[in-house]
């Protein structure tokens, strides 16, 4: 399984989409230097740079974690590259899990690169409130966990329907819908009828809640982060990802290629 991780990484590190994502993220970080002029944190360089940099890094990384796996997996299956691999001595589920880990590691490299660039910009250049930029490690942690969930969702949908564009669309819609889950909870709490109440509660519990993984305000405004909360995030992400990955492994095992 490690060989699939290693060579998937090697192959995708040369992928134009990956290289373009790095370029875009570094450009955004550079651009964030100017954001203090327009940001509501006017005059506070560190806060402005981190707010702008983290927000747009999230957007690019989110696009990356959906589109690279979808295009890579669909290409491997549709062009028959997968036959070379699965005719070797490897179980299908191991191939899938190895691919999952490889994409997650690539995603991690983007987050780490972005954080290092933001740290350099705030700590080395601005030298204003350096303790905040050290907290970027929490940003990487939270984004990695939410990325793991999005990736497992992409794998699950793709193995189930094998349509790349639908997979990307459904994954993106699920992600954006899940950011509004608190509203679903509010509606459920205030609902008059039992049907409406349980319908919204069902939505609230069945969709992944990506709001749990938003630590940007804590980082920018240097608010304390509870270690118990960090552990709860890990448990939530791990449980969600493992269930979906198990589901996609089972589907993939019984799927004709």
Position 192 contacts other proteins (CB under 8 A) = no
Can you say whether the dihedral through the CA atoms of 193, 194, 195, 198 is positive or negative?
A: positive
The distance of closest approach from Cβ of residue 22 to other proteins in the complex, given in angstroms and rounded to an integer, is 15
Query: Could you please report the per-residue DSSP string of 157-168?
Result: HHHHH--HHHHH
Contact positions with other proteins (CB under 8 A) in 15-54: 15
Q: Which is nearer to other proteins, 18 or 123 (CB)?
A: 18
Round to whole Å and give the CA distance between 114 and 57: 7
Position 90 contacts other proteins (CB under 8 A) = yes
Q: Which is nearer to other proteins, 13 or 231 (CB)?
A: 13
Can you say whether the dihedral through the CA atoms of 124, 125, 128, 129 is positive or negative?
A: negative
Q: Which is nearer to other proteins, 75 or 183 (CB)?
A: 75
Q: Which is nearer to other proteins, 10 or 31 (CB)?
A: 10
Q: Which stretch binds other proteins (CB under 8 A): 6-14, 55-63, 172-180, 243-251?
A: 6-14
Position 233 contacts other proteins (CB under 8 A) = no
Contact 9, 104 (CB under 8 A): no
Position 71 contacts other proteins (CB under 8 A) = no
Q: Exactly one of 34, 91, 166, 222 binds other proteins (CB under 8 A); which one?
A: 91
Structure tokens at 18: 């990956």
Long-range Cβ contact pairs of 197-203 (< 8 A, separation 24 or more) = none
The distance of closest approach from Cβ of residue 13 to other proteins in the complex, given in angstroms and rounded to an integer, is 8
Rg (alpha carbons) of the chain, rounded to whole number: 20
Site for other proteins, rule CB under 8 A = 3, 7, 10-12, 14-15, 75, 79-81, 83-84, 86-91, 256-257
């Amino acid at each position: 399984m490690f060989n699939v991780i290693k060579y998937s990484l090697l192959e995708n590190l040369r992928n134009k989409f990956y290289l373009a994502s790095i370029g875009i993220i570094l450009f955004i970080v550079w651009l964030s230097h100017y954001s203090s002029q327009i940001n509501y944190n006017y005059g506070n360089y560190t806060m402005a740079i981190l707010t702008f940099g983290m927000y747009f890094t999230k957007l690019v990384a989110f696009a990356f974690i959906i589109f690279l796996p979808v295009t890579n997996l669909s290409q491997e299956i549709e062009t028959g590259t997968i036959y070379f691999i699965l005719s070797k001595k490897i179980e299908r589920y191991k191939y899938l899990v190895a691919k999952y880990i490889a994409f997650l590691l690539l995603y991690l490299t983007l987050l780490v690169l972005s954080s290092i660039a933001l740290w350099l910009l705030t700590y080395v250049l601005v030298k204003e409130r350096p303790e905040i930029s050290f907290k970027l490690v929490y940003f990487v942690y939270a984004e990695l966990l939410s990325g793991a969930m999005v990736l497992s969702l992409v794998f699950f949908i793709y193995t189930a329907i094998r349509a790349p564009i639908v997979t990307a669309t459904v994954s993106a819609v699920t992600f954006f819908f899940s950011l509004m889950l608190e509203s679903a909870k509010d509606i459920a709490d205030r609902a008059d009828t039992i049907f409406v109440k349980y319908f919204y509660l069902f939505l609230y519990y069945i969709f992944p809640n990506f709001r749990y993984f938003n630590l940007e305000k804590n980082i920018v405004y240097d608010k304390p982060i509870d270690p118990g909360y960090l552990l709860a995030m890990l448990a939530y992400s791990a449980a969600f990802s493992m269930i979906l990955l198990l589901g996609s492994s089972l589907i993939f095992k019984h799927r004709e290629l």
